[in-house]
Amino acid sequence: MINRCLAAFGALLAAMLMGGCTSSEQQELQQWMAEQRNATKPKVDPIPEPTKFSPRAYTEEGSIEPFSSQKLTQALKRDSKQETANAALIAPELSRRKEPLEAMPLDAVVMVGSLIKAGQPVALVRVDNLIYQVRVGNYLGQNFGRVTKVTETSLSLREIVQDAAGEWIERTAALQLTEGSK
């Protein structure tokens, strides 16, 4: 019983001591924050005046009016020529039969060797632990990649891809011989 009373008294004494320390520290903190608030002056730059719009007269009398049907016709002709050029580039690729290595992304294909077969250079490529023979004219990768050159150490190909504007363009890619690959 006495132990309980002493424990309760000790806890009450400790709480009172802690409360006394906290209030003075808190008061010091609030005083410091008030000083900082008063010492800090915000600086706001004024908003610049808007520029005055000054309309100008249309002086291009001899040129095509920008809102005329003639201007629209020229733009449509230019777009149709680009679409025709794009269609001519991709159409043969869409109409031919796909080769097995076109199902694999180019980064999954590894060149592991080369040889000469019937007087023609042949690249040996590995995909999924299978070795394939690739010659000039074969297709490789998912971007309509056609092999254009085979050397002892590399394989070059021409791919047809879409650029940021959605236009079909040609680009070159290459695979280098990987030595010591398993």
Q: What is the CA radius of gyration of the chain?
A: 39
As a whole number, mean pLDDT of residues 104-117 equals: 92
Give pLDDT, residue 38: 86
Is pLDDT at 20 greater than 90 in this prediction? no
Which class would CATH give 100-176?
Answer: mainly beta
What's the rounded mean pLDDT across residues 127-139? 93
Q: What is the pTM of this model?
A: 0.52
pLDDT digits (tens, 9 = 90+) for 68-102: 777 777 777 766 666 666 677 787 888 889 999 99
Position 22 pLDDT exceeds 60: no
Domain range list for the chain = 100-176
- For residues 168 and 180, is the Cβ–Cβ distance under 8 A? no
DSSP string covering 83-145, please? HHHHHHHHHHHHHSPPPGGGGS-GGG-EEEEEEEETTEEEEEEEETTEEEEE-TT-EETTTTE
Answer whether 161's CB lies under 8 Å from 179's CB: no
Of 160, 130, 131, 159, the C-alpha closest to 122 is 131
